[in-house]
Amino acid sequence: MPSMETRTVAIVCMLNAAIEAKPSITDEVHHIRIEAAIPDDLSSAGRQAILVALGHADRYGHHRAPDRAFVWAELDKDVRPVTSPLQPSGASAPRAGTDPSSECRLDECSLGRGPYEIQASRRSADEKPLFTAGSSHRCPRRRKR
């Protein structure tokens, strides 16, 4: 697997090419966060390029401000998972500060432009739609097998 730095540069470059603007990068304690404003006149090819870029992240999502939409991607730093005897060895502990009520169904995510079948194919049956237009939310992201 490529290093976190390589993945960060790749996602930033892909988003930069898709939106023709430089995304912001924030170095947090446990992850790197990349955020980019989405132009109102983004083409369908640009939206597809954004989805491809976000697919390389550990988590991604979008939110709308009153004047603009944003997408974000997070890449985990190399942190060992916390496990306990009660937890299966293949599972990782839930991340601190993760609120399941803030998640949305992937088929409801639209970046403000309508649902994407690419994302809908990744949702599981137990995920409930919680997206409210104009609110910020997290999109659950599963690792590729």
Any idea what the Cα angle at residue 99 is, between residues 60 and 28, rounded to 5°? Answer: 55
62: pLDDT confidence band, cut at 50, 70 and 90? very high
38: pLDDT confidence band, cut at 50, 70 and 90? very high
pLDDT at 4: 82
d(CA 98, CA 100): 6
pLDDT at 133: 37
pLDDT at 3: 82
- With contact defined as beta carbons under 8 Å apart, do 92 and 100 qualify? no
Per-residue pLDDT tens over the stretch 82-136: 454 444 444 444 444 444 433 333 334 444 333 333 333 333 444 433 333 333 4
Supply the mean pLDDT for the chain. 68
Calculate what percentage of the chain has a pLDDT beyond 70.
53
pLDDT at 77: 87
Phi-psi category of residue 65: left, alpha or beta, with phi > 0 → left and psi -120 to 50 → alpha? beta
pLDDT at 90: 46
